[in-house]
Amino acid sequence: MPKMKTKSAAKKRFKLTGTGKIKFQHAGRRHNLGGKSRKGKRQSKAMAVIHETDHDRILRCFPNGGGI
């Protein structure tokens, strides 16, 4: 049986916290920032924790669990 591979797209986008939650970076911070509100740009600076309903779906992309 070959090794199970981690999804490359997921390992680039998510980080695992010490308590087992999954963090992600908000989208929309690369270009065209002049047309976006200050509040939206400020709030999207910080990493956020994914919603609990998506947690299991994203963890399935990491078959070994610790590869995040």
Structural domain contains residue 16: yes
Provide CB contacts within 8 A for 60, sequence distance 6+. Answer: none
Whole-number pLDDT of residue 66: 58
Strand, helix or coil for residue 44: coil
Structural domain contains residue 68: no
Each residue's pLDDT expressed in tens, for the chain with a length of 68 residues: 898 898 999 999 999 888 889 999 999 999 999 999 999 999 999 999 999 999 999 999 988 875 55
Q: Read off the CATH number of the domain in which 23 is found.
A: 4.10.410.60
Whole-number pLDDT of residue 33: 95
Whole-number pLDDT of residue 23: 95
> How many structural domains compose the chain?
1
CA dihedral angle for residue 8, residue 41, residue 54, residue 24, rounded to 10 degrees? 40
Structural domain contains residue 23: yes
Q: What residues make up the domain containing 35? A: 8-59
Whole-number pLDDT of residue 26: 95
Q: Give the predicted TM-score (pTM) of the model.
A: 0.78
Structural domain contains residue 24: yes
Give the position of tokens 């390992």. 11
Structural domain contains residue 39: yes
> What amino acid is encoded at 26 in this protein?
H
Structural domain contains residue 65: no
Structural domain contains residue 64: no
